[in-house]
Amino acid sequence: MAVENAVPGGEAKNNKRVLVVGAGIAGLAAALRMHQQNWDVVVVERAQSRRSSGYLVNLHGPGFDAAQRLGLLPRLTPRDIGLYTSILVHADGREKFTIPAAVAQAAVGNRALSLFRGDLESALYDTVAEVADIRFGTTVQAVTQDTDDVWIWATWLERSRSRTPPHTYPQVRARPSSDPGARPRS
């Protein structure tokens, strides 16, 4: 699909537009931060749906600061499983050493969260879905640029998680193109 940054007969409300490719933690965090900076955001993801599995994530120091800047703490705090005793082991499974939860708490203070990757992704997704279009099953085919515009061709399925119906976006017009090098016509 070719995408143009204007509605026929209308003016663009916001000239700062961004397409974020990837709806994982990094892509969703980038989309949220761009929205906070007044960018109009569309997120596309090649996978057909969200991936909620994963490992444990500890947010402290810069990670906690980032979650705070993104406004995620109210959604993340209830999902916090707390600090825990960590046991590091050798490759053969023998215990190497233990870090008691109290030691970890003393090191990071109360500015830390321990949660599962899926909980972090869900908090980001729920927040971003309120302010941006998120399209699954979407693959960017080509990107071209001239001195005035950037043109993006993508294919996507009919099903999407979006504020607007599939294939539409405020101030965006999409039309099929079999030639990624061709510019859309007005």
CA distance 11 to 117: 40
Separation between Cα atoms, residue 103 and residue 131, nearest integer Å: 40
Domain spans of the chain? 1-81+107-186
pLDDT of 74-114, one tens digit each?
999 999 999 888 899 999 999 999 999 999 889 888 899 99
**Any idea which residue has 């965006």 for tokens?**
172
CATH superfamily placement of domain 1-81+107-186: FAD/NAD(P)-binding domain (3.50.50.60)
| Residue ranges in the chain modelled with pLDDT below 70 | 1-14, 156-186
- Looking at residue 89, its pLDDT comes to 95
Beta strands in the chain (DSSP E): 2-4, 17-21, 40-45, 56-60, 86-89, 95-99, 112-116, 133-136, 139-145, 150-155, 173-175
Confirm if 26 and 124 have CB atoms less than 8 A apart. Answer: no
